[in-house]
């Protein structure tokens, strides 16, 4: 026993434990929730004090001391630490890595909560300099200088410059020598919650929206709601009114949106209606901007916090409400490292904070519908589109019996022409980017495959490349077969090819392709969506990026090309997913006064799935799927965890999972079923062999008990050294 307390510190290392340290000799004693710098092995690490104890398993004379206390007061509150601990326990993930995921990068790296930032400005002599001659001699320097001159007296933050002009530092050197720019340090800009202008009022709510709002108003305490409203039913209007209540009580609201749901349209809608600027947290921010938003949420300056997945970790001074919009969206689940679901954490966090949580979707997941049936969620339905917009009419086009050219059938082409002539906008949806998904040889049948993955290469016509969508490797596109030298031909359609087909067919149309290839450049996505919203493009061609939550006022026709992939999927979630993506994209049609039409090209028009979808909608699809899952004992009727491994040698990947399986079998349980190890559905990816072990349980407690015992065992087992492995609790992708 020693007099000074022993600190439990979470350090960012892949070990499921906390580390004991003595307080530093100098400076203030670190409180729980503060960051400390600690010696770890031979290095220094940043950690967070997550607890205090009088005793340690480490003998007192072996205990090391923290080197430094980084925060004078707790950076993370008890509620924040609760969430971190919960995540670590629920996802069986090392607490130090959870802390790292929860903190903005500046804080993770030990910077102060109010860091100094470097700014660059153009000097007075820059004004008089000869811009033309500079542009000729050093175009990069000229470009940088022009940005700085435009920015005026405050100049630009280095973070922002890195975003605008990635290699600006080299150009800056030249300009510094010439005395045309200078740099200085200043406090990072604070978040400003105020915006000028009046709060605008929205449309009067219809009776369904009104009853939804009354239900939401019935509780200030923990209560989960599912707002199950068809696309365009005015869910956002209801959230807005409820958020408005919460803000006027002086509390904060946290709104989580899917990865690309955070559009300028949404932000300006929130601003106009609520009269405050939301603090935004998403992956596109600079580290400094992210920290400013995080700080404002933590101090309570930001009343409304809007963000994507990781925003669920944002500290809130005075939380009153959490909303998860489009709860079915897969981007809420992190697919690597700490595999958490922000949607599920929203529920857990709201429960701990004792505040309501609203999940909204037109296509709710079966998990949430199951909660409604069992009575643990309140199910609120908005059955109709708001403001008199009609539901779109959905029809199938049989691609076997109708003629088509390069992926676009005759009836589809005619409909496109008709809608364009009536000044309507058209959206063509398909879930494949690139030109064609397969390159096949006409004579020997050879298919171009990735050397590092078990996958086919996608043809990208623009830069004449074959690219692997799984590992990113690429090689030049050849006219001749790699095997036999005969001519090869791209098979099937990707967004690029459809764009080309449409351009040939409708030369007068403005066509805008929106997928992850066309929107790589920073800001390109926002520009494309803005153009689509304003109606500049006649035809939009895109992947599921285009299907999410957008409101394109002029859009009247949605065409789904290549709809069949999901019909015969092997994953137990295939039909749920397929219904979600079709209904979401269909929901973009006819959201205002003009009625919408949806045409779906399929080679299997007789398939039951289509009849159910068209006649019964998502309700019937989800009812059927729930009944089926109950029968087959899949989630939400059972719980899953997936143990994954990847190694250079297939036998190592399997061996590790066999060891895990044997360990699990040591504590047999009636409620547990272990499936595998088997090869992953894509058995080789980026040069590594992948395998998996599925653990299924009819009760959550047993599953977690097993995983709790398994994790430390695996961390120390020699078989783990040769593999990369992870535990995925509640996996959404089974591969």
Instruction: Name the residues that contact Zn ion, by CB under 5 A.
Output: 450, 452-453, 468, 470-471
Give the other-Cβ count within 10 Å of 249's Cβ. 11
Q: What does the H/E/C string look like for 293-314?
A: HHHHHHHCCCCEEEECHHHHHC
CB of 555 to ligand ADP, least distance (A): 12
* Strand pairing class (223-229; 378-382): parallel
User: Among ligand ADP, Zn ion, none, what binds residue 386 when CB lies within 5 to 8 Å by partner kind?
Assistant: ligand ADP
CB of 210 to ligand ADP, least distance (A): 9
Between 369 and 468, CB nearer to Zn ion: 468
Work out whether the CA dihedral 723, 724, 728, 733 comes out positive or negative: negative
User: Among ligand ADP, Zn ion, none, what binds residue 206 when CB lies within 5 to 8 Å by partner kind?
Assistant: ligand ADP
Between 110 and 449, CB nearer to Zn ion: 449
Q: Give the integer Cα–Cα distance in Å for 390 and 693.
A: 47
Between 448 and 514, CB nearer to Zn ion: 448
For the purposes of burial, counting CB atoms within 10 Å of the CB of 47, is it exposed (0-12), middle (13-18) or buried (19 or more)? Answer: buried
Size of the site for ligand ADP (CB under 6 A): 16
Site string for ligand ADP, 174-213 (x = CB under 6 A): -----------------------------x-xx--x----
CB of 686 to ligand ADP, least distance (A): 38
Between 111 and 550, CB nearer to ligand ADP: 550
Between 387 and 595, CB nearer to ligand ADP: 387
User: Among ligand ADP, Zn ion, none, what binds residue 263 when CB lies within 5 to 8 Å by partner kind?
Assistant: none
CB of 562 to Zn ion, least distance (A): 22
Q: Which residue is nearest to ligand ADP (CB)?
A: 387
- Bridge partners of 678? 692
Find out whether 120 and 181 touch, Cβ atoms under 8 Å. Answer: yes
Between 233 and 602, CB nearer to ligand ADP: 233
User: Among ligand ADP, Zn ion, none, what binds residue 453 when CB lies within 5 to 8 Å by partner kind?
Assistant: Zn ion
CB of 239 to ligand ADP, least distance (A): 8
User: Among Zn ion, ligand ADP, none, what binds residue 452 when CB lies within 5 to 8 Å by partner kind?
Assistant: Zn ion
CB of 458 to ligand ADP, least distance (A): 32
Alpha-carbon separation of residue 497 from 308, 435, 465, 494 (angstroms): 32, 5, 14, 5
* Strand pairing class (724-729; 639-647): antiparallel
Tell me which residue of 653, 731, 657 sits closest to 693, measured CA to CA: 657
Please state whether 152 falls in left (phi above 0), alpha (psi between -120 and 50) or beta. Answer: left
For the purposes of burial, counting CB atoms within 10 Å of the CB of 297, is it exposed (0-12), middle (13-18) or buried (19 or more)? Answer: buried
Between 93 and 688, CB nearer to Zn ion: 688
CB of 230 to ligand ADP, least distance (A): 7
Q: Which residue in the set 110, 387, 531, 535 belongs to the binding site for ligand ADP (CB under 6 A)?
A: 387
Q: Give the integer Cα–Cα distance in Å for 193 and 296.
A: 9
CB of 650 to Zn ion, least distance (A): 17
Between 172 and 238, CB nearer to ligand ADP: 238
Q: What does the H/E/C string look like for 609-620?
A: HHHHHHHHHHHH
Structure tokens given for 319 = 């939380």
CB of 361 to ligand ADP, least distance (A): 9
Structure tokens given for 670 = 């009636």
Strands, DSSP E only, in 63-216? 64-65, 68-69, 116-122, 156-157, 181-187
User: Among ligand ADP, Zn ion, none, what binds residue 209 when CB lies within 5 to 8 Å by partner kind?
Assistant: ligand ADP
Between 140 and 475, CB nearer to Zn ion: 475
User: Among Zn ion, ligand ADP, none, what binds residue 450 when CB lies within 5 to 8 Å by partner kind?
Assistant: Zn ion
Site string for ligand ADP, 212-251 (x = CB under 6 A): -----------------x-xxxxxxx--------------
Between 257 and 695, CB nearer to ligand ADP: 257
For the purposes of burial, counting CB atoms within 10 Å of the CB of 482, is it exposed (0-12), middle (13-18) or buried (19 or more)? Answer: middle
Between 56 and 263, CB nearer to ligand ADP: 263
Tell me which residue of 266, 303, 324, 311 sits closest to 285, measured CA to CA: 311
Is residue 261 close enough to count as binding ligand ADP by CB under 6 A?
no
* Strand pairing class (252-256; 156-157): unpaired
Residue 240, helix vs strand vs coil: helix
CB of 238 to ligand ADP, least distance (A): 7
Find out whether 220 and 253 touch, Cβ atoms under 8 Å. Answer: no
CB of 657 to Zn ion, least distance (A): 23
Structure tokens given for 368 = 């949430």
Q: Which residue in the set 226, 355, 386, 586 belongs to the binding site for ligand ADP (CB under 6 A)?
A: 386
Please state whether 269 falls in left (phi above 0), alpha (psi between -120 and 50) or beta. Answer: alpha
Between 148 and 589, CB nearer to ligand ADP: 589
> Which distant-in-sequence residues (6+ apart) come within 8 Å of 598 by Cβ?
392, 393, 394, 395, 557, 558, 559, 560, 586, 589
User: Among ligand ADP, Zn ion, none, what binds residue 688 when CB lies within 5 to 8 Å by partner kind?
Assistant: none
Residues that bind ligand ADP (CB under 6 A): 203, 205-206, 209, 229, 231-237, 386-387, 551, 591
């Amino acid at each position: 026993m020693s007099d000074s307390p022993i600190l439990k510190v979470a350090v960012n290392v892949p070990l499921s434990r906390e580390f004991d340290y003595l307080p530093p000799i100098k400076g203030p004693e670190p409180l729980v929730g503060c960051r400390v710098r600690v010696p770890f092995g031979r290095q220094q690490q940043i950690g967070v004090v997550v607890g205090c104890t009088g005793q340690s398993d480490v003998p007192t004379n072996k205990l090391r001391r923290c080197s430094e206390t980084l925060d004078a007061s707790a950076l993370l509150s008890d509620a924040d630490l609760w969430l971190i601990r919960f995540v670590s326990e629920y996802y069986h993930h090392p607490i130090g890595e959870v802390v790292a995921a929860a903190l903005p990068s500046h804080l993770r790296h030990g910077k102060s909560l109010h860091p100094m930032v470097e700014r660059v400005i153009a000097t007075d002599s820059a004004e008089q300099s000869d811009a033309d001659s500079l542009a000729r001699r050093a175009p990069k320097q000229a470009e940088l200088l022009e940005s700085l001159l435009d920015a005026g007296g405050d100049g630009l933050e280095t973070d922002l410059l890195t975003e605008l002009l990635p290699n600006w530092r080299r150009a800056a050197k030249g300009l510094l020598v010439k005395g045309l720019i200078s740099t200085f340090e200043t406090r990072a800009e604070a978040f400003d919650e105020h915006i000028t202008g009046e709060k605008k009022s929205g449309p009067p709510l219809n009776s369904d929206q009104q009853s939804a709002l009354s239900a939401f108003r019935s509780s200030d305490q923990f209560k989960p709601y599912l707002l199950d409203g068809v696309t365009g039913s005015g869910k956002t209007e209801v959230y807005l009114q409820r958020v408005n209540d919460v803000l006027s009580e002086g509390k904060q609201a946290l709104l989580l949106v899917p990865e690309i749901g955070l559009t300028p349209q949404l932000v300006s809608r929130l601003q106009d209606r609520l009269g405050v600027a939301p603090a935004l947290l998403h992956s596109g921010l600079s580290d400094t901007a992210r920290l400013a938003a995080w700080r404002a949420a933590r101090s309570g300056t930001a009343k409304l916090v809007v963000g994507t997945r990781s925003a669920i970790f944002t500290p809130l001074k005075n939380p009153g409400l959490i909303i998860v919009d489009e709860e079915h969206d897969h981007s809420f689940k992190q697919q690597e490292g700490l595999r958490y679901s922000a949607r599920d954490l929203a529920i857990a966090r709201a429960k701990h904070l004792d505040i309501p949580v609203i999940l909204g979707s037109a296509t709710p997941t079966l998990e949430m519908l199951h909660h409604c049936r069992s009575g643990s969620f309140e199910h609120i339905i908005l059955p109709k589109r708001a403001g008199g917009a009609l539901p779109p009419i959905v029809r199938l086009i049989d691609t076997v019996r109708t003629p088509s050219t390069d992926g676009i059938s005759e009836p589809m082409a005619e409909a496109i022409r008709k809608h364009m002539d009536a000044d309507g906008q058209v959206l063509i949806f398909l879930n494949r980017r690139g030109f064609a998904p397969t390159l096949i040889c006409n004579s020997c049948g050879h298919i171009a495959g990735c050397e590092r993955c078990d996958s086919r290469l996608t043809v990208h016509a623009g830069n004449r490349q074959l690219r692997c969508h799984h590992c990113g490797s690429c090689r030049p596109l050849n006219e001749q077969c790699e095997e036999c030298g005969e001519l090869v031909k791209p098979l099937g359609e990707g967004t690029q090819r459809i764009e080309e087909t449409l351009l040939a067919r409708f030369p007068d149309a403005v066509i805008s392709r929106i997928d992850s290839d066309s929107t790589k450049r920073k800001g390109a996505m926002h520009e494309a969506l803005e153009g689509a919203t304003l109606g500049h493009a006649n035809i939009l061609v895109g992947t599921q990026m285009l299907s999410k939550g957008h409101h394109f006022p002029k859009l009247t026709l949605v065409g789904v090309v290549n709809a069949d992939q999901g019909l015969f999927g092997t994953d137990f979630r295939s039909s749920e997913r397929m219904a979600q993506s079709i209904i979401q994209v269909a929901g973009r049609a006819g959201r205002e006064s003009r009625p919408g039409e949806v045409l779906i090209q399929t080679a299997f028009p007789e398939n039951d799935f289509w009849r159910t979808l068209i006649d019964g909608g998502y309700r019937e699809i989800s009812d059927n799927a729930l009944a089926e899952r109950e029968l087959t004992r899949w989630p939400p009727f059972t719980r899953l965890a997936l143990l994954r491994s990847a190694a250079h040698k297939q036998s190592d990947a399997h061996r590790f999972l066999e060891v895990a399986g044997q360990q699990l079998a040591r504590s047999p349980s009636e409620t547990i079923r272990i499936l595998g190890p088997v090869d992953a559905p894509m058995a080789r990816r980026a040069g590594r062999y992948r395998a998996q072990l599925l653990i299924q349980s009819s009760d959550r407690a047993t599953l977690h008990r097993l995983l709790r015992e398994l994790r430390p065992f695996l961390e120390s087992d020699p078989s783990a050294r040769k593999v990369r492995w992870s535990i995925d609790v509640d996996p959404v992708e089974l591969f």
